[in-house]
Structures are given as structure tokens and as C-alpha cells.
Amino acid sequence: MIENAHKICDEKPIFQAEFQELILEHWQQIQQNRRYPSKKDFRPQNFPKYLPQLAIVSVEECGEHFTDRLTGTTVSEVLRLSAGREQLAAPSDENIKDVVKSMLGQASDNEQPMYFEGKFKPQASQEVGFSALVLPFSFDSKGDELDTLLLAFNFNQNRPLSALS
């Protein structure tokens, strides 16, 4: 369930994780007066420690359909996505599907960076709090067509994950 959804315009929300703020700053630097920065300009190597907490999703059919391009290991582990069979954009768990679909839909519809806070309740698991920064990207160099969303997750759990330490 999403508890808070913030459009990021000129005012930044209070981020739960510092790396989300760093990724937003990087996005703003590579935007270069375009509506969306080109995804080829994004430098994930600037954030190697946090790659397991990132996901990249393609936006298709005017924001009505989403396809996974990359899902970090921490995202897959926490959301219990079966290796090779499930995608973040279409998980089998209905609770996760509803939350992810809402985030992707809102970010695609608003066509700007967004920040979400809420909770996932994977089947047969304890509730997991999260925050997610969702950033729009374009493949074309003009940066006027949204075709990719990057999600930077921070999970709050009772048990620490090795990828997060």
C-alpha cells in the first residue's frame, strides 16, 4: 500500500535514504534542459553499492504497459520475485502487483520524478516498509519522450539484508 506519493518539482521530499537524493541529483545534472535525461547518460557506476536496490522498467503503449529491463537482487529478494520467472512489473503476488502498478502508473502519468513511501506485504512474509524514488528517462537525445523509469528502492525491514549493509 502506498502511504505517500510526492511529485518532485522544485522542492525535494525528505528522503529515507541518502543514496536516493544522490541519484536524483545525478538525474538533474544529466537532464541538461531536456524534459527527460537520456538513459545513456545515466551512470550506474556512480552508485555501485546501491545497484541491488535499483530497477529499470520500459514504458510502452503510452504508459499502459511496463516491461522489466533490470531488477536488482535486493529488490528481487525482498519482494520474493522468483528468479527468471517473475518481473517487478508483473509479479504473481497481488499486493506487490497493486503497489508497483500504482507507482509505475502515477510516475508515467505525471511524467516527472516522484517519491513514494508505503508498505509491501509479500505473501507469507512480514510487512516491509519502503521508499522509492522513480525517475523518468528517454532513449532519444532530445529527451522529449518518456520510455524508461528507474526505481531506487530503500526497504525498512526488521532483519538487515547483506546487500544493504
Tell me the pairing of strands 148-156 and 65-71.
Answer: unpaired
Please report the pLDDT score of residue 158 as a whole number: 47
**40-92 pLDDT, tens digit each:** 999 988 999 999 999 999 998 766 789 999 999 999 988 888 766 678 888 88
- 95 CB-contact burial (10 Å; exposed 0-12 / middle 13-18 / buried 19+): middle
- Among 43-52, 102-111, 121-130, the least confident range: 121-130
How would residue 161 be classed by pLDDT, with cut points 50, 70 and 90? very low
**19-37 pLDDT, tens digit each:** 999 999 999 999 988 889 9
CB atoms within 10 A of CB 127: 13
Please report the pLDDT score of residue 134 as a whole number: 97
Report how far residue 138's alpha carbon sits from residue 35's, in angstroms, rounded to the nearest whole number.
Answer: 9
User: In sequence order, what are the beta bridge partners of 140?
Assistant: none
Residue of 65 and 100 predicted with greater confidence: 100
Please report the pLDDT score of residue 163 as a whole number: 38
Cβ-Cβ contacts under 8 Å for 82 (sequence gap 6 or more): 92
Residue of 21 and 159 predicted with greater confidence: 21
Written as nine digits, the cell of 124 is 507469507
Q: Is the pLDDT of residue 162 over 50?
A: no
DSSP sequence for 35-48: SS-BGGG--GGG-G
**5-14 pLDDT, tens digit each:** 888 876 778 8
Buried b vs exposed e over 13-42: b needs ≥16 C-beta within 10 Å? bebbbebbbebbebbeebbeeeebbbbebb
- Residue 66 — φ and ψ, nearest 5°? -130, 140
User: Strands (DSSP E) along the chain, which ranges?
Assistant: 2-7, 54-60, 65-71, 114-120, 128-137, 148-156
Report how far residue 120's alpha carbon sits from residue 128's, in angstroms, rounded to the nearest whole number.
Answer: 5
Q: How far apart are the first and last CA of the chain?
A: 26
Please report the pLDDT score of residue 10 as a whole number: 62
**135-156 pLDDT, tens digit each:** 999 987 676 789 999 999 999 8
**Considering the entire predicted model, what is its pTM?**
0.88
Residue of 122 and 115 predicted with greater confidence: 115
